[in-house]
């Protein structure tokens, strides 16, 4: 390990890139110490504490997780990077259904720069509306215990808050792009991972704190045997997630032989790798986001107190079911949505017809299948089966935190590190970061981080 670290630090360019990345991540974390003007942080904290484990608190936790922010602390980075991610997803989806944008995507570097420019403009617009909505919610909540200070609650001060939050998100977008160009790794992903890992000290405090206070006697809720089991389960889950994240279904591909002069070229057998989890964490993000709406809808319907045929009671039960994120109904809907979005996202990023056409153009073929429609049909069939396994994996990872929280009586802040979106993001970003550092080392004829040989 020390030898690998010395190899990394021995390359000036790589050393400078890592240093710049760490500095920019530090700037990102320091931004959470700069609170939003005219907001009573104490009143906001009390409001969140009263909500406890309610659906509102869960929605805010999910938004904070996906956006690399902490909405519970109204700072200049309160919106996080989520508006930029939302704009990127919108343009990526539009590229599959809007022909001019699809044509622009195929123009190479020039088309990519144009789409990135439009994405930045869309991010500013999304930031403006999201920040205005959030400020309006805070200004009208909790009656006399106002979160927005009453003496500053006018249109000018709200505009200042909106512009401040919008500027903060744009600054985060710029930091992510600087890491992409001058640092190491994917900037936006690193920001999200940093936001997730910033919760680790709190989780460790919730886990180890009671043990330090009540003792670690065997068989107790804070016993050393329980802590050992939790550590073993954590490393087991991380190992399993890394294994599945890296898993591939390799399809053999034969290149055709061709003769040039007196020599024969081609005829080699290679492989076409299909990732088991091709959609990454996007299905979990979409599923979690959509499940917020049934809770909000049933909450509004339950508030109407409809007495006709017991609908009021039914709406109240459904509201409680979707507010209880460890319940059967919530998890069943969660799993179904994950399966749906796995197939939906895979259909967007993987086109078997186009893949078969590219193989045919390069003079390659899959043994046993004719180039063209037969190859496309085979690729679609294989990808359907692979996606099913990947969706099952994502479903298990998504429900592990609630299962661990219920069985071992853990706080959700602790159990969230045993699975779910946070663990998947951290593992995926860490693997990508290692591969990029490894590529720098190999390009300079140094031993890579993934080289285990002595």
CATH number at residue 125: 1.10.3370.10
Asked whether residue 191 is domain-assigned, the answer is yes
Asked whether residue 217 is domain-assigned, the answer is no
Asked whether residue 83 is domain-assigned, the answer is yes
Question: pLDDT category, 70, cuts 50, 70, 90?
Answer: low
Asked whether residue 141 is domain-assigned, the answer is yes
Render pLDDT for 181-207 as a digit per residue (tens, 0 to 9): 888 888 888 888 888 888 777 777 777
Distances (CA, A) of 112 to 103, 105, 225, 231: 11, 6, 54, 44
pLDDT of residue 450: 62
What is the number of domains present in the chain? 1
Tokens representing 408 are 């071992």
Helix (H, G, I), strand (E, B) or coil at 292: helix
Mean pLDDT of 323-351: 83
Higher-confidence position of 226 and 185? 185
Render pLDDT for 48-60 as a digit per residue (tens, 0 to 9): 666 555 555 555 5
Mean pLDDT of 33-60: 64
Q: What is the mean pLDDT of the chain?
A: 78
Nearest to 93 by CA among 247, 256, 282: 282
Stretch (H or E) spanning 254:
strand 248-255
Max CA-CA distance within the chain? 90
Phi/psi class of residue 264: alpha, beta or left (left: φ > 0; alpha: ψ in -120 to 50)?
beta
Mean pLDDT of 282-289: 77
pLDDT of residue 81: 82
Which range scores top for mean pLDDT: 112-121, 146-155, 250-259, 396-405?
Answer: 112-121
Residues 6+ away with beta carbon under 8 Å from 215: 222
Helix (H, G, I), strand (E, B) or coil at 35: strand
Question: pLDDT category, 302, cuts 50, 70, 90?
Answer: confident
- DSSP per residue, 61-112: HHHHHHHTS-TTS-BTTTTTTHHHHHHHHHHHHHHHH-HHHHHHHTTTHHHH
Percent of the chain having pLDDT more than 70?
77
Asked whether residue 446 is domain-assigned, the answer is no
Distances (CA, A) of 53 to 50, 287, 413: 9, 20, 11
Phi/psi class of residue 372: alpha, beta or left (left: φ > 0; alpha: ψ in -120 to 50)?
left
Pair type for strands 258-260 and 263-265:
antiparallel
Asked whether residue 428 is domain-assigned, the answer is no
Render pLDDT for 88-107 as a digit per residue (tens, 0 to 9): 878 877 877 778 887 887 77
Distance between CA atoms of residues 8 and 15, nearest Å:
7
389, with CB counted inside 10 A (0-12, 13-18, 19+), is middle
Tell me the backbone φ, ψ of residue 260, rounded to 5 degrees: -125, 105
Asked whether residue 391 is domain-assigned, the answer is no
Contact 420, 401 (CB under 8 A): yes
Question: pLDDT category, 5, cuts 50, 70, 90?
Answer: confident
Residues 6+ away with beta carbon under 8 Å from 192: 66, 67, 68, 81, 425, 429
pTM assigned to the model: 0.76
Residues 6+ away with beta carbon under 8 Å from 72: 44, 45, 48, 60, 64
Least confident of 64-73, 88-97, 366-375: 64-73
Distance between CA atoms of residues 270 and 272, nearest Å:
7
Distance between CA atoms of residues 439 and 446, nearest Å:
10
pLDDT of residue 161: 83
Asked whether residue 450 is domain-assigned, the answer is no
Pair type for strands 364-365 and 248-255:
antiparallel
pLDDT of residue 454: 44
Higher-confidence position of 315 and 223? 315
Radius of gyration of the chain (CA): 25
């Amino acid at each position: 390990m020390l030898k690998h670290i010395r190899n990394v630090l021995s390359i000036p360019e790589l050393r400078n890139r890592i240093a710049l990345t760490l500095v920019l991540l530090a700037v990102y974390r320091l931004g959470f110490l700069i609170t939003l003007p005219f907001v009573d942080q104490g009143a906001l904290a009390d409001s969140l504490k009263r909500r406890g484990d309610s659906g509102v608190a869960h929605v805010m936790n999910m938004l904070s997780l996906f956006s690399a922010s902490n909405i519970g602390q109204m700072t200049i980075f309160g919106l996080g990077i989520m508006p930029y991610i939302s704009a990127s997803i919108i343009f990526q989806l539009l590229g599959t259904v809007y022909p001019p944008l699809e044509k622009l995507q195929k123009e190479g570097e020039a088309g990519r720069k144009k789409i990135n420019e439009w994405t930045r403009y869309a991010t500013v617009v999304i930031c403006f509306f999201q920040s205005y909505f959030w400020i309006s919610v805070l200004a009208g909540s909790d009656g006399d215990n106002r979160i927005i200070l009453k003496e500053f609650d006018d249109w000018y001060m709200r505009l200042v808050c909106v512009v401040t939050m919008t500027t903060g998100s744009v600054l985060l977008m710029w930091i992510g792009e600087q890491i992409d160009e001058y640092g190491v790794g994917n900037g936006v992903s690193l920001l999200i991972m940093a936001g997730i890992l910033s919760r680790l000290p709190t989780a460790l405090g919730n886990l180890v704190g009671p043990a330090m206070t009540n003792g670690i006697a065997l068989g107790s809720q804070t016993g050393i045997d329980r802590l050992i089991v939790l550590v073993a389960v954590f490393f087991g889950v991380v190992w399993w997630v890394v294994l599945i994240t890296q898993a591939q279904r390799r399809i053999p591909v034969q290149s055709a032989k061709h003769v040039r002069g007196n020599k024969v070229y081609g005829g080699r057998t290679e492989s076409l790798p299909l990732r088991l989890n091709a959609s990454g964490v996007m299905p979990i993000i979409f599923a979690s986001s959509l499940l917020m709406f049934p809770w909000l809808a049933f909450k509004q319907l339950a508030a109407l107190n409809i007495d006709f045929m017991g609908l009021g009671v039914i709406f109240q039960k459904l509201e409680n079911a979707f507010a209880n994120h460890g319940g059967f109904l919530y998890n069943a809907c969660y799993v179904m949505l994950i399966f749906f979005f796995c197939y939906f996202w895979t259909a967007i990023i993987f086109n078997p017809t186009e893949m078969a056409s590219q193989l045919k153009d390069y003079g390659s073929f899959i043994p046993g299948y004719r180039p063209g429609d037969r190859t496309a049909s085979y690729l679609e069939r294989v990808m359907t089966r692979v996606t099913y396994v990947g969706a099952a994996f994502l479903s298990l990872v998504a429900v592990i935190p609630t299962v661990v929280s219920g069985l071992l009586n853990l706080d959700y802040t602790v159990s969230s590190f045993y699975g779910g979106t946070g663990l998947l993001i951290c593992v995926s970003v860490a693997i990508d970061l290692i591969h990029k550092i490894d590529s720098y080392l190999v390009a300079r004829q140094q031993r890579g981080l993934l080289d285990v040989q002595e």
